[in-house]
A and B are shown apart, each in its own frame.
Chain A
Amino acid sequence: MRTAHLAVEVSGFGRHPEAWRQAGVPREALLTPAHHIAVAQLAAQSGADFVALPDSFGAGSGLDAVAIAARVAPVVPGIGLVPTVTTTHTEPFHTSKAIATLDLVSSGRAGWEPAVSRTAGEAAQFGRKPAAEPAELWREAAETIEVVVALWDSWEDDAVIRDVATGRYVDRDKLHYVDFSGEFFSVKGPSITPRSPQAHPLIVLRAEPDSLAVAARWADVVRITAPDLSAAHAARERIRAAVTDAGRDPDAVAVLLDVEILLAADENAARRRFDELGELAEETLRVVGSPEAFVDVLAEGAVDGVTAIPLTLPGGLRVLADEVAPRLLAAGLRTPADPAATLRERFGLPRPANVLTGA
């Protein structure tokens, strides 16, 4: 049996919009570092490979996700940190150095989830361009990812030479202009930030109708939603085929299924809690039940792993850390992680070659 990947997504007091009522603290707690540190620590204790930190410029968004990731990185070891940074309104040059720096301050635990901003509301906050169709937004996202990766490689690993004899701090032959010019923007390069510990932080993409080509070309991890495990399995097969068509090894791309969770000692207790929260549209597979019920989903092996999305936080993570994590280890579905491993290493991915030098 192969082991499964586990990620957790945390935002606000959980996926359920009424979850803050159960949190027992005022909503302003979300503005404090203590909240984000506590949540990241629980996620690390659950043994997850990474914590996904969603973000947008939309209503209801909170603090900047890269900021949160950077704030927790030095004090919460042993877990990957994957903030969302959108591609529609943010400058690719800024995104590139922000994620590379997250990799630096976390010793190689950074990832990046690119996403697009669809709404007219978000566009109005910037006032630079109108909202566009998803197909166009994802073409722009593809350009953004391409240039961000090129900027990550615009410094070779050994560009800093400190050669006293010739007075040279860098070998400028190991710094590269990216000279990117596309449909939406051009970027000269090189980055101002040197190549980071992982070289390419892990790229995580959500499967959407218009994102498949981008994911096939760039994703290390693809996040999917599906109503049940057989649909999830079919989606995984489609993604693997697209990755193969894009000339990449499908085994180098992990497909993780979003699973909303509300776990308690037994199914009845979980149900009662869920009923207290109130009805909620089902966005993907949901497990309201015992820790075993969640373990069963991973044991099924329909996908390469799961992104657990607690309906309530931080309580939803406590069950994951205390009850689920030991069961996953005991069942052989997970192996203890090497705390010094980079996020790429957790996914069995090598440190990539430099796209600009091919070396």
Chain B
Amino acid sequence: MPKKQIHLAAHFPGVNNTTVWSDPESGSQTDFASFVAFAQNAERGLFDFLFLAEGLRLREHQGRIHDLDVVGRPDTFTVLNAIAAVTTHLGLGGTINTTFNEPWELAKQFASLDHLSGGRAAWNLVTSSDAFTGENFRRGGFLEPAQRYDRAQQMLDAARELWLADGRPIDHHSAQFDIVGDFPIPPTPQGHPVLIQSGDSDQGREFGAKTADAIFSRHGSVEDGQAFYADLKGRMGAYGRRPEEITILPATTFALGDTEAEAQENGHRIRTAQVSPQTAIAFLEQVWGRDLSAYDPDGPLPDVDPDPGAQITRGRVRHEKDPLAVAQRWRELAEAKGGLSIRELIIETTAHQSFVGTPKEVARQMDDYVQADASDGFILIPHLTPGGLDEFVEKVVPELQDLGSYRTEYAGPTLRDHLGLARP
């Protein structure tokens, strides 16, 4: 039996503290030249697709714009269409919110991207519904979290009907949408764009199992990854789908070196740069829900408890559901590790790389991970823009190819070809 193949996607480093903007090699996050360099390198590395995240409002921390991380990004559709002009095979994946868009317009935009790229478009459907983001839109913050996947599903149903209408008139009605008309764009080279899903709740996983071609997950460790993989693929049968119809891709970071020791050192250097003293305090404040600016980042954790109700950061997905439990866990960890400082603790808990080692070793780790069904591949998030994947493409990709787990050429021009997906 041929070996299970690894899929790779390239996350253009965006708005988060992964990006080490303080590094002298860090270029612009927004100049088109950065996108060209990044995309062309990913295509040299035979990646399935380039991936863009999205946030529709600048994050705030303690009521003011968060100023410690990279911020600012171009419009997803516009930049992906431009990238289509400087690449030939690379898939173009955009995160587009289902709450603050309308099906007709979105279907037209994705159909245009798929036609103009020769069949390389993908849509990561996200559902964030918070009123904070809604303040930038006519819709406002009208959607309860419980309804957001209903709207996502109805949005997708409507978009799919438009994409596949092929001249037939549309008369579509759901709780969220009433759409009547003739969609002017014929079905695209891929039939319609590839669908990616990334929410992690029970509802999110059901939505993914039912609809997605690929999943962007956060489950990094082998055990965690295997559990998620089994859970998600296990849900597909209920929808008459086979496990291989979904490609599961966790967010992955890495650090390389010519020797194991050098890789560890590089990893440590990157982690330290990702968590500046100010970032360490801001992270802690997010969990504590309090102003902790009086605390020394190189000192011990605060002895006050978190305020469980308070949420002092807005505009970013909250991953910590129970602050008191987190604080408890962190205190124990700091003590177990011989009294970590605030900054050391934050580095320990938020900024570890998924894979560290020589290119050969990283390739082997990734291959083991995928062969163990902890995922089908990875969405790589490099710490530098735009050159953060250069060394990976140059050195790790050939090792993966040597292991027989990675393509040596694209099977065809469309993203569906790369993912082995049938036309809808």
Q: Could you list which residues of chain A lie within 8 angstroms of chain B, going by C-beta atoms?
A: 28, 31-33, 36, 57, 59-64, 66-68, 70-75, 89-91, 93-94, 97-98, 100-102, 104-105, 107, 121-122, 124-128, 155, 160, 162, 164, 166-172, 175, 184-190, 192-194
By the criterion CB–CB under 8 Å, are B179 and A67 in contact?
no
By the criterion CB–CB under 8 Å, are A90 and B113 in contact?
no
Identify which of A64, A125, A155 contacts B72 (C-beta below 8 A). Answer: A155
Given contacts A60-B184, A63-B112, A75-B85, contact A89 B22 (CB under 8 A): no
By the criterion CB–CB under 8 Å, are B82 and A93 in contact?
no
A7 CB to closest chain B CB, in angstroms? 21
Cβ-based interface call for B104 (8 A): yes
A10 CB to closest chain B CB, in angstroms? 15
Q: How far, in angstroms, from A346 to B129 measured CA to CA in the complex?
A: 43
By the criterion CB–CB under 8 Å, are B75 and A126 in contact?
no
By the criterion CB–CB under 8 Å, are A68 and B112 in contact?
yes
Query: Residues of B contacting A172 with CB < 8 Å?
Result: 64-65, 67
Query: Residues of A contacting B100 with CB < 8 Å?
Result: 91
Closest residue of A by beta carbon distance from B109 = A64
Q: How far, in angstroms, from A60 to B181 measured CA to CA in the complex?
A: 12
Q: How far, in angstroms, from A244 to B185 measured CA to CA in the complex?
A: 43
By the criterion CB–CB under 8 Å, are A93 and B56 in contact?
yes
| Inter-chain residue pair count (beta carbon < 8 A) | 182
Query: Residues of A contacting B67 with CB < 8 Å?
Result: 168-172
By the criterion CB–CB under 8 Å, are A190 and B58 in contact?
yes
Q: How far, in angstroms, from A66 to B184 measured CA to CA in the complex?
A: 16
Closest residue of B by beta carbon distance from A154 = B58
Q: How far, in angstroms, from A188 to B57 measured CA to CA in the complex?
A: 9
Closest residue of B by beta carbon distance from A175 = B65
Query: Residues of B contacting A170 with CB < 8 Å?
Result: 65, 67, 71-72
By the criterion CB–CB under 8 Å, are B185 and A63 in contact?
yes
Within 8 A of A (CB), among B197-249: none
By the criterion CB–CB under 8 Å, are B82 and A126 in contact?
no
Within 8 A of A (CB), among B257-299: 276-279
By the criterion CB–CB under 8 Å, are B278 and A166 in contact?
yes
Query: Residues of B contacting A126 with CB < 8 Å?
Result: 102, 104-105, 179
Q: How far, in angstroms, from A66 to B118 measured CA to CA in the complex?
A: 17
B72, B100, B117 interface centre (most CB from chain A within 10 Å): B72
By the criterion CB–CB under 8 Å, are B115 and A32 in contact?
yes
By the criterion CB–CB under 8 Å, are B78 and A98 in contact?
yes
Cβ-based interface call for B74 (8 A): yes
Q: How far, in angstroms, from A113 to B12 measured CA to CA in the complex?
A: 30
Closest residue of A by beta carbon distance from B28 = A160
Within 8 A of A (CB), among B361-392: none
By the criterion CB–CB under 8 Å, are A186 and B70 in contact?
no
Cβ-based interface call for B77 (8 A): yes
Query: Residues of B contacting A60 with CB < 8 Å?
Result: 184
Identify which of B65, B84, B182 contacts A71 (C-beta below 8 A). Answer: B84
Query: Residues of B contacting A68 with CB < 8 Å?
Result: 81, 112, 116
Q: Could you list which residues of chain B lie within 8 angstroms of chain A, going by C-beta atoms?
A: 21-22, 30-32, 35-36, 55-58, 64-65, 67-75, 77-79, 81-82, 84-86, 100-102, 104-105, 108-109, 111-113, 115-118, 135-138, 170, 177-182, 184-186, 276-279
Secondary structure dominating the interface of B: loop
Query: Residues of B contacting A75 with CB < 8 Å?
Result: 85-86
Q: How far, in angstroms, from A74 to B68 measured CA to CA in the complex?
A: 32
By the criterion CB–CB under 8 Å, are A61 and B57 in contact?
no
Q: How far, in angstroms, from A89 to B361 measured CA to CA in the complex?
A: 53
By the criterion CB–CB under 8 Å, are B78 and A167 in contact?
no
B316 CB to closest chain A CB, in angstroms? 13
Query: Residues of A contacting B69 with CB < 8 Å?
Result: 169
B85 CB to closest chain A CB, in angstroms? 4
Can you show 21 pairs from A to B with CB atoms below 8 A apart? A59-B182, A60-B184, A63-B108, A70-B81, A70-B82, A70-B85, A71-B116, A74-B85, A89-B104, A91-B100, A94-B75, A104-B74, A105-B78, A125-B104, A126-B102, A127-B179, A162-B21, A166-B278, A167-B68, A169-B68, A169-B70
The 5 closest A-B pairs by CB, nearest first: A127-B178, A167-B278, A70-B81, A105-B82, A67-B112
Identify which of B36, B86, B184 contacts A59 (C-beta below 8 A). Answer: B184
Given contacts A67-B113, A168-B68, A186-B135, contact A104 B57 (CB under 8 A): no
B169 CB to closest chain A CB, in angstroms? 11
Query: Residues of B contacting A101 with CB < 8 Å?
Result: 74-75, 78-79
Q: How far, in angstroms, from A168 to B113 measured CA to CA in the complex?
A: 35
Query: Residues of A contacting B74 with CB < 8 Å?
Result: 97, 100-101, 104-105, 193
Q: How far, in angstroms, from A161 to B365 measured CA to CA in the complex?
A: 38
B324 CB to closest chain A CB, in angstroms? 28
B142 CB to closest chain A CB, in angstroms? 12
B182 CB to closest chain A CB, in angstroms? 6
Given contacts A162-B22, A169-B21, contact A105 B105 (CB under 8 A): no
Q: How far, in angstroms, from A31 to B189 measured CA to CA in the complex?
A: 10
A134 CB to closest chain B CB, in angstroms? 20
